Amino acid sequence: MTGLFSTSLLIEISYYVAAFLFIMGLKRMSSPVTAASGIKWAGLGMVVATAITFLYPDMHNYALMTAAIFVGGVLAWWTGKRVAMTDMPQMIALYNGMGGGAAAAISAVELLSGRELGPVVSTLAVLGGLIGSVSFSGSMVAFAKLQGLLRKDVRFKGQNIVNIAILAAAAVLGVMQIAANGSTDSITLMFALALVLGITMTLPIGGADMPVVISLYNALTGLAVAFEGFVLDNAAMIIAGTVVGSAGTLLTQLMAKAMNRSLANVLFSGFGDSSGGSQEVTGAMKAIDANDVGIMMAFAEKVLIVPGYGMAVAQAQHKVWELTQLLQDRGVTVKFAIHPVAGRMPGHMNVLLAEAGVPYDIIYDQDEINPEFDTADVALVIGANDVVNPVARTDSTSPIYGMPILNADKAKNCIVIKRGQGAGFSGIQNALFFLDNTRMLYGDGQAAVSELIQAIKSL
């Protein structure tokens, strides 16, 4: 008895320590100075909790357990090390979906075991199982879409009604399960319905909105993990899951707000469905060549660079950093202006710039940098479009009306590096390109920036 008691105590202490390390880790991850150490704290917590679980009383199947950890861990390690920074959003979706699937698996094992769980525990098991399943299949669809495996946004009339019907059917089966232990068939059907719901919910959502959805599924997985933690009397799961559930909900709201969308709007309507007629923009785009831009920037006092996802697609971020260093050496103040939704998810552009070696203390959020455009000599827009479109301020009929934008148009000179003359991601004509103080530098992002570097070097 003494032996068993001390093992239990050791496990509880370890979970307690793990929960502490998770919260401290997340706290440290919320500041750029301490962030890198934060993930290590949380990682240590995970190792402690996982290792101690092998000592859990009355367990068997250790070989299966070890094999599963090994296979899952090695595959994830291998893919995680190899993934390009531009593909980060879909990898997060993939790993998140796996967590949701694991929560659903716990629920399935508990419900299928036929043990008497009692009404409260079986309610939580069912809820966690349903949420985990939706998160699993939904995240997989999000992954497939962002990875380019699945290109179409499938939409049909009455889609929301179909989704509600599936949800209702799954809920009925869930309630039946809670009332009295159901058959294997009804439990299987319940999980199948939840998996289908995740797919049908996510299919109509466009790629641009996907980050918000991934964040939502992240929060949902956290919640599912917390519920399964209640089922298993596991405090570490309850605390970690709940913390992620609420933190993820907040992050989702912040992201949706940054995109000027409500969460309901993202989930229940496709972007572009309501696009009105794109208004005519008068004037002409005026081209400029790289040498003139080089001179303009080299003799400027302050240059603000506005990067968009197009820059990352062209793999131009390393060249942009080289250009920045060249300008800094000439005494030019260079700052990066980041729109909240630059890249494929909020903060993604910061990661891409960081990868190229750009220090984060010259990278500024929209609110910090916007007043500075008034005093900037040059605003260099590269691969960004809608986030610098002034119609968002002025034209109430535009689909992007009301979205906060970067004030690139307020700079003395605005240079836009762009491949061709087409409209932006949302298909909206950009009034910025037609302004008197805007010049267009046509070309591939990487090639154009290389030309700028040459132009400045030859001065």
Active site (catalytic) residues: 386
d(CA 292, CA 393): 30
- Applying CB under 8 A, among 272, 276, 357, 402 the residue interacting with other proteins is 357
Contacting other proteins (CB under 8 A), which of 86, 98, 146, 305?
Answer: 98
Distance in angstroms (rounded) separating the CA atoms of residues 320 and 336:
10
Helix 119-147 vs helix 184-202: crossing angle, to nearest 10: 40
User: DSSP assignment, residue 414?
Assistant: E
Residue 123 touches other proteins, criterion: CB under 8 A: no
Q: Least distance from C-beta 429 to other proteins, angstroms?
A: 27
Q: In one letter, which amino acid is 38?
A: G
Which of 228, 224, 226 has the alpha carbon at shortest distance from 111? 228
Instruction: Verify binding: residue 112, other proteins, rule CB under 8 A.
Output: yes
Segment contacting other proteins (CB under 8 A): 170-178, 226-234, 267-275, 370-378? 226-234
Mask: binding to other proteins, 170-199, rule CB under 8 A, as x and -? --------------x---------------
Q: Which is nearer to other proteins, 97 or 445 (CB)?
A: 97
User: Which of positions 370-399 make contact with other proteins (CB under 8 A)?
Assistant: none
Site for other proteins, residues 61 to 90, rule: CB under 8 A: 61-62, 64-65, 67-73, 75-77, 79-81, 83, 85, 88-89
Tell me phi and psi for residue 4, to 5 degrees: -65, -45
* Interface with other proteins (CB under 8 A), residue from 131, 142, 214, 411: 214
12 binds other proteins (CB under 8 A): yes
Told to check if 247 binds other proteins by CB under 8 A, we report: yes
Q: Which is nearer to other proteins, 114 or 420 (CB)?
A: 114
Question: Is 327 one of the binding residues for other proteins (CB under 8 A)?
Answer: no
User: Applying CB under 8 A, does 43 fall inside the site for other proteins?
Assistant: yes
Contacts of 250-256 with CB under 8 Å at 24 or more apart are 251/215, 251/218, 251/219, 252/212, 252/215, 252/216, 252/218, 252/219, 254/346, 255/211, 255/212, 255/215, 255/340, 255/341, 255/345, 255/346, 256/212
Q: Write the DSSP symbol of residue 273.
A: T
The answer to whether residue 144 forms part of the interface with other proteins (CB under 8 A) is no
